[in-house]
Amino acid sequence: MQRPFDSGPAAPVDVAISDVPVAPVAVSFVSEPPAGVPGPAPRRAPGRASGARRVAGWAIDLAFLAVALAAHVFVAARLCGMVRSAPDLVLVAPGLWISVGAVLALAWSWVFTALWSRTPGMAFTGQRLCRLDGRPLGPVAAFARALLAVLSGALGMFGFVLALFDHRGQTLHDKLCGCVAIVD
């Protein structure tokens, strides 16, 4: 039974094509956004990190290092059987704990800078370390910078305070290693 608009089975169609049909195509890779639609934001060149940004990054890293050092003291107190007097353990051998803190700071700065060109504090504040020519620091340069950073801190934080008055925002250890903190 056929329905009213049913044409039935399809019949073959014989059409001769003499030439291959080619449609004209115009390709353009440059275009302006439509009116009223903002275009992409222009990418800024990285600039130097401000003093406030540097201090915030240092504070975050210092907080992480304080927690790591406290964990070491707590574990040592538990291993020594001093359950309630972990601060007494620090007062018994302060030089030892200052040395442990310095080694933790050295490892912290070296590992993070060598692998990711930033410490967690720098990452939270949008900073990155690079050489003055724009290349990232290698593992040896990152170790030298970390060692010099511990010495900068041992000088009464003088090496860090220098960054607040330097026109490039470089710490003493950044100057000695030829690197600068930039904003991503």
Tens-of-pLDDT digits for all 184 residues of the chain?
556 666 666 666 666 666 655 666 655 666 666 666 666 665 555 677 778 888 999 999 999 999 999 898 888 878 877 666 667 777 888 888 889 999 999 999 999 999 999 999 999 999 999 998 889 999 999 999 999 999 988 888 888 888 888 888 889 999 999 999 888 7
Q: Has residue 113 been placed in a domain?
A: yes
How many of the other CB atoms lie within 10 Å of CB of 89?
16
Q: Has residue 22 been placed in a domain?
A: no
How far apart CA 71 and CA 89 sit, in angstroms, is 13
Q: Has residue 58 been placed in a domain?
A: yes
Q: Has residue 12 been placed in a domain?
A: no
**What total number of domains does the chain contain?**
1
CB 131 within 8 A of CB 178: yes
CB 128 within 8 A of CB 118: yes
Q: Which domain holds residue 66?
A: 51-183
Question: E strands of the chain, at which residues?
Answer: 127-131, 179-183
Q: Has residue 1 been placed in a domain?
A: no
Q: Has residue 153 been placed in a domain?
A: yes
Q: Has residue 32 been placed in a domain?
A: no
CB 141 within 8 A of CB 179: yes
Q: Has residue 8 been placed in a domain?
A: no
